[in-house]
């Protein structure tokens, strides 16, 4: 059962453009939605996260938009740079006393120079 669906599978964006990655979830008990960035040969690293009581969170060039009624959230990367080329995973977790992350399938982003 795939609880977090992510699209697109891959994305090519020109330098300076906006990268948009979308995720949808099914379980309404989820209450924490992080995005992770993973470079080849490395483990995922937390990029930005949001709680469902806010509709948007911005950190530098990275913004999460959250739509609770639609059970969707998205990552926007403004002014995309070649160094942003990586695989991005959305994830979700619920309050169970610890953070059991449920990940999407990932989006491979390539920012062309």
Partner 1 sequence: GAGVSQTPSNKVTEKGKYVELRCDPISGHTALYWYRQSLGQGPEFLIYFQGTGAADDSGLPNDRFFAVRPEGSVSTLKIQRTERGDSAVYLCASSLRRTGVFRNEQFFGPGTRLTVL
| Contact positions vs partner 1 (CB under 8 A) | 4, 6, 32, 34, 41-46, 49, 51, 89, 91, 93, 96-106
Least Å distance, CB 29 to partner 1, is 14
On whether the CB atoms of residues 23 and 74 are closer than 8 A, the answer is: yes
How far is 89 from 53, CA to CA, in rounded Å?
21
CA distance 86 to 72: 22
Give the nearer residue to partner 1 in terms of CB position, either 10 or 67: 10
Q: How far is the CB of 67 from partner 1 (least distance, A)?
A: 20
Place of tokens 């990268």: 19
What is the smallest separation between the CB atom of 82 and partner 1, expressed in angstroms? 22
The residue among 15 and 58 lying less far from partner 1, judged by its C-beta, is 58
| Cβ pair 86, 11 in contact under 8 A | no
Q: For residues 24 and 49, which CB has a smaller minimum distance to partner 1 in the complex?
A: 49
Nearer to partner 1, 14 or 99 (CB): 99
Q: Supply the minimum distance, in Å, between the C-beta of residue 90 and partner 1.
A: 8
């Amino acid at each position: 059962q795939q609880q977090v669906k992510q699209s697109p599978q891959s994305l090519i964006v020109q330098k300076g453009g906006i990268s948009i990655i979308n995720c949808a979830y099914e379980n309404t008990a989820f209450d924490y939605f992080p995005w992770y960035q993973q470079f080849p040969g490395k483990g995922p690293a937390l990029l930005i996260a949001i709680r469902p009581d806010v509709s948007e969170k911005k950190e530098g060039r990275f913004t999460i938009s959250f739509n609770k009624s639609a059970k969707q959230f998205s990552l926007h990367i403004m002014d995309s740079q070649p160094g942003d080329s990586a695989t991005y995973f959305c994830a979700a977790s619920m309050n169970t006393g610890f953070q059991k992350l449920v990940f999407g399938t990932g989006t491979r982003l390539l920012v062309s120079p």
